[in-house]
Amino acid sequence: MATTPTPSSAPATPFAGALRQVDYWWTLYLRTWKGSVVNSFASPLLYVLAMGVLLGGFIEVAPSELEGATSYLDFVAPGLLASQAMTIAFGETTYPVMGMIKWQRIYFSMIASPLTVSEVLLAQFGFVAARTLLACVVFVAVMAPFGVFASVGGALGALLVQVLVGLAFATPVLAYSAALKDESGFAVVYRLGLIPLFLFSGAFFPVANLGAGLEALAKVTPLWHGVDLTRMLTLGQVDWSMAAVHVAYLVVLAALGWWLAVRQLTRRLVS
């Protein structure tokens, strides 16, 4: 039985459709990278110096109280790295998404072509992953001279984890952004989402210090999983069973967020 040939203008696979958008995202990055380059270099250095070196110089506790870290710098640096990945994901999937829907209406132009919503989002999440990786490479390069990483392999593993952390936040946040009618809802997600996660997910102090109830709550947040997994790799003290739990949690969250993002953006653009 003969099969209907795929039109030459239509992508054969979602990945082929995503690859067709590389030029757009590369051009966008070339036009905007200067606005973030200073922040990308300065923020990691200032955070590491202020929180790890200066503040850490006043903190003298046993490694058992810092989850195995021999200094506060070694403890806080992985948390800062994972928090950087989260912050980038929020930044790339809130206002830029609203702009592509409401202000520039770029999404409408994209789906007017043979591209589907899932192909458009696949390319966008690829861009978010690349942005996260690039920024975290800079962060790792800044932290490395301070002797934070136990091994080169741990540093490379931590970088890969940041891509997963970024996607675990980017997909559900984009779904949330696609459901909004205007940008006023972003204040809620930043104040009640990003900031509490940044402060209370184990980046700056062990969550055991919060008490049993709040500790349990902190451990169900995605940033805690990212921080703990990053810290394992940087310290070279990997509990593989717990690491598998962290990876599974982040992968499931990213997949669920993907499904919600496709659903919400399709409803917004097509319905």
Question: Taking the model in full, what pTM does it have?
Answer: 0.88
Please report which confidence band the pLDDT of residue 2 belongs to, taking 50, 70 and 90 as the band edges: very low
HEC string for 157-181: HHHHHHHHHHHHHHHHHHHHHHHCC
Which of 4-8, 141-145, 260-264 shows the lowest mean pLDDT across its residues?
4-8
Tokens coding 224: 């805690």
What pLDDT shows up at residue 66? Answer: 73
Please report which confidence band the pLDDT of residue 10 belongs to, taking 50, 70 and 90 as the band edges: low
What pLDDT shows up at residue 108? Answer: 92
Task: Supply φ then ψ for residue 237, to 5 degrees.
Answer: -125, 70
What is the C-alpha to C-alpha distance for residues 160 and 223, in angstroms, rounded to an integer?
15
Q: Return the number of other C-beta atoms located less than 10 Å from residue 147's C-beta.
A: 12
- Asked if the model's pLDDT at residue 57 lies above 70, the reply is no
Please report which confidence band the pLDDT of residue 29 belongs to, taking 50, 70 and 90 as the band edges: confident
For 231, counting Cβ atoms within 10 Å of its Cβ (0-12 exposed, 13-18 middle, 19+ buried), the class is buried
CA 105 to chain centre: 25
Amino acid found at 32: T
Q: Return the number of other C-beta atoms located less than 10 Å from residue 150's C-beta.
A: 14
**CA diameter of the chain:** 76
What pLDDT shows up at residue 121? Answer: 95
Please report which confidence band the pLDDT of residue 43 belongs to, taking 50, 70 and 90 as the band edges: confident
